[in-house]
Copies of this chain bind each other. A is one copy, B any other.
């Protein structure tokens, strides 16, 4: 009965092959400029084969994005360990978040801008990776309030506000690379530090 298993393994392998080809092309050339035929070419299969593994192009995009979020989550998890200084932790996480976005701009836009546009009504549903990232953010804010480093702000609202700020600077830096920004790090610091400062007791 090992046949079935081997077949399943091969299928899974090909699925991953499609995914990684799609990812690379999406990231390097942009979702719009990548055709199903181009993806198929890259892995030396016929274009229509992809439809045996993914419903359509949007579904392919969706799967790529899920991977991206897992990546981001891992990056943040690494910072989670140290519980001694939650404020410092929050700052580091914010920087890591923005830097992740700048390191994988296409992934970031894909996940947080393009996908919601193509797949209406996805709201970081229960148990999703996005929800995990967000609840992790809440936990850190909560800890800052508990330690009275922050004043008694509403935890959820504050977490959302912080997310807004880092999301905004990430997207602006990605989308307007030619704008005469202040030095990139200086701007990121300004956004994060100003928010943190505004929350302190």
Contacts and interface: CB of A to CB of B under 8 A. Distances in A.
Interface of A: 30, 32, 109, 112-113, 116-118, 121-124, 153-154, 156-158, 160-161, 163-172, 175-182, 186-187, 190-191, 193-199
Main secondary structure of the interface of A (DSSP, over half): helix
Given A122-B178, A176-B122, A176-B123, A167 B171 contact: yes
A164 B156 contact: no
B172 A164 contact: yes
A130 to B, nearest CB: 9
A187 B156 CA distance: 9
A155 B199 CA distance: 21
Contact of A123 (B122, B156, B179): B179
Contacts of A165: 164-165, 168-169, 191, 195
Given A113-B175, A116-B176, A198-B194, A164 B158 contact: no
